[in-house]
Amino acid sequence: MSARILDGNALSAQLRGRLADDAAALAARGVQPCLAVILVGGDPASSVYVRNKVAACEKAGIKSLRFDYPQDADPASVLERIAALNADPAVHGILVQLPLPRQFNEKAVLEAIAVGKDVDGFHAENVGRLSQGQEAFFPCTPHGVMKMLESAGIAVKGADAVVIGRSNIVGKPMAVLLTNAGATVTVCHSQTRDLAAHTRRADIVIAAVGRPRFVTGDMVKPGAAVIDVGINRIQDGPEAGKLCGDVDFASVSAVAGAISPVPGGVGPMTITMLLANTIEAARRVADKR
């Protein structure tokens, strides 16, 4: 069997076209959607992500403000910036790129962001609202995965889903979104005893471990949908420097029914959902006026 490819670029292009229309409609109502992005330090991967986020905003007609701080920045100065952005009615979304340098208390920074501007969905109140099935900003990567499954017509209700990884950014909110949508969810992680025993009976596997080509064809049930959240750079050997996911595409695509590639799968969907959340935040402001 050769798996159907879940093309995140194509789906993103389609969704972003609609989001650009929404942004233009809000601007015509006098509310220009605006996202503030804070980057601390020069981590190369974070710099690329932030550049891509800002570029995607501009293309969709969302204004972006970018604030760069050095690696040794004083956390107080970033917290002051967040307070000013919280108070600025022209700013609808605030994103602090993670990870932050060691001197930062990540939780304190995320909780400093106004809940209504937390377009990453990382504030404890948004996390709590999500877990209770209330309206909330959903974290962008797992939300993008849900959109991919939905658009591909992959049934979530009643499905057995395995999420590999338990991070606050992907694994945990992914498990909640799948649960809320009616899946039976198992969360696996580094302490899981027999990972393959879990993945082999899953209809949906979400790989968010951060280990190159970790999920192999022998770990996947024939016909399953496999979503690859990983973005790893191969360190050595003939492929050094190349990007790959957490899924071994060659062996898994021969067994699975559907698979998301890396690059061109979940990555663009994460940014698309960030645009969607920013427009939603701006819409709430426009509707209140």
Per CB under 6 A, does 98 bind ligand GUN? yes
- # residues contacting ligand GUN (CB under 6 A): 9
- Write down the catalytic residue from 22, 118, 120, 228: 120
Q: Which is nearer to ligand GUN, 227 or 252 (CB)?
A: 227
Binding mask 116-135 for ligand GUN (x = CB under 6 A): ----x---------------
Report the 10 Å Cβ neighbour count for 189: 14
Question: Under rule CB under 6 A, which residues in 160-199 are in contact with ligand GUN?
Answer: 169
Our answer to whether residue 53 is catalytic in this structure is yes
Q: Establish if 227 lies at the interface with ligand GUN (CB under 6 A).
A: no
Q: Are 212 and 250 in contact (CB under 8 A)?
A: no
Q: Is 140 an interacting residue with respect to ligand GUN (CB under 6 A)?
A: yes
97 binds ligand GUN (CB under 6 A): yes
Stretch that binds ligand GUN, among 2-10, 95-103, 241-249, 260-268 (CB under 6 A): 95-103
Residue 36 CB coordination number (10 Å) = 26
Q: Nearest distance from residue 29's CB to ligand GUN, in Å?
A: 28
Active site residue 203: no
Rounded CA Rg of the chain: 19
Question: Distance (Å, rounded) from C-alpha 51 to C-alpha 221?
Answer: 38
Smallest distance, ligand GUN to C-beta of residue 63, A: 18
CA 116 to each of CA 8, 13, 88, 283, 285: distance values in angstroms, whole numbers, following the listed order: 27, 26, 12, 11, 9
* Catalytic status, residue 97: yes
> Binding to ligand GUN by residue 270, rule CB under 6 A?
yes
Contacts of residue 282, defined as CB under 8 A and 6 or more positions apart, other chains included, come to 23, 26, 31, 32, 33, 34, 92, 93
| CA 173 and chain centroid, separation | 10
Binding site for ligand GUN (CB under 6 A): 95-98, 120, 140-141, 169, 270
